[in-house]
Amino acid sequence: MTPGIARVDTRLVRIPLTRPWGPDVRDLSVVAVEVTDSDGGVGHGFSWTPSIGARSVHAMLDDHLVPAALGREADPSAWQGLWEHVHEAGGGGVTTIALAGIDLALWDLRARRAGVGLPELLGRRHERQPAYGSGVNLHYPLDELVAQVRRWVDAGFTAVKVKVGSPDPAIDVDRLDAVREVLGPDRGLMIDANQRWDVGRATAALERLVRFDPLWIEEPLRADDLAAHRELRARTGIPIALGENLHTVHRFRDVLDAGVVDVVQPNVVRVGGITPFLAIAQLARERGVELAPHLLPELSASLAFALPERTWIEDVEDAAFAALGALDDDPGLRIVDGWASGGPSLGLGLRFRGGER
């Protein structure tokens, strides 16, 4: 018989960024979650938000999800009932981000009970997966952007992603000219507009940028504007990537069934944890669409090692939790010469230091 959830503890942790993501994004926030079962086992999870909403997520956990979780089976099967409990506050967003903390802790607990790391619990299929260098770098001067790309090339990455969406489209062209010169013709280039355009601006911009042969254009439009994505899909042949700002399996099904996306990018925390992430991965597989998890490399790679398909891992420079010194555990992830390998020896391998309750 599966033990029940006897206790859930939460604490807010601020993690300073070595390289700020902008003038107003100088740290990341996680809400560390510890679930204790009725047999005394402890699982460790977290909710994550880089810039906005950390205290709201913390309150959603403490005020609504924790009371609803107590007494339920200490197993990821608790996810559906907990999501239904908080759905009135929103089907996704703060609700799913908060719920991820408990879901991750329950998966960690399951793996710890089995005495294995998450990839082995799920059934490891790969010893390594490809990684690409990624940067939050639209605010970088050109010389800093070029230097960053050179570091990725020197580190052995075969693909990199940079930001586009400058107020003057000619600036993006100049920046990508410099980036492509460093990359050469054989390395992959992804570009990411972070929802900055409408259909007209996206069409005009992509007509200029297509000559750089991008592997994908990420979030060219507001993620929840399905009609606009249909229109843009008819106007450009550049593969479209999106998903970091979709929060439920239902929204992923919508964009997949509409045929507007070539690469889906679920963020494991924003969608509500590992339980819905696996369902989204299955949907992408059924539709023949590529999967490339958004950020969180220590967690995304653990999942990718257990997926049947080749899966890109996003490695943002100096932003992994281990690199920021935020963890008590060694998550075991190694990214060398553009490949992610390894993984945790027990559970998720993600226990955070410090924080306030």
Q: Which helix (H) or strand (E) holds 264?
A: strand 263-264
Residue 9 pairs in a beta bridge with 34
Which of 138, 139, 212, 219 shows the shortest CA–CA distance to 182? Answer: 212
Residues assigned a catalytic role: 163, 294
Helix, strand counts (H, E) of the chain: 12, 13
Please name the residue that has the structure tokens 């590992």: 274
How many angstroms separate the CA atoms of 304 and 317, rounded? 20
The rounded distance, in Å, linking the Cα atoms of 50 and 21 is 9
Taking Cα atoms as reference points, which of 282, 272, 275, 274 lies closest to residue 264? 282
Kindly give, in sequence order, each residue whose CB lies less than 8 Å from that of residue 181, ignoring residues fewer than 6 positions away: none
* Alpha-helical runs (H) found in the chain: 54-60, 66-69, 79-86, 94-114, 118-122, 142-154, 169-183, 199-209, 226-235, 249-258, 274-287, 297-304
Q: Could you tell me which residues are beta bridge partners of residue 33?
A: 10, 45
For CA atoms 136, 141, 145, 148, the dihedral sign is negative
**C-alpha 38, offset from chain centre:** 32
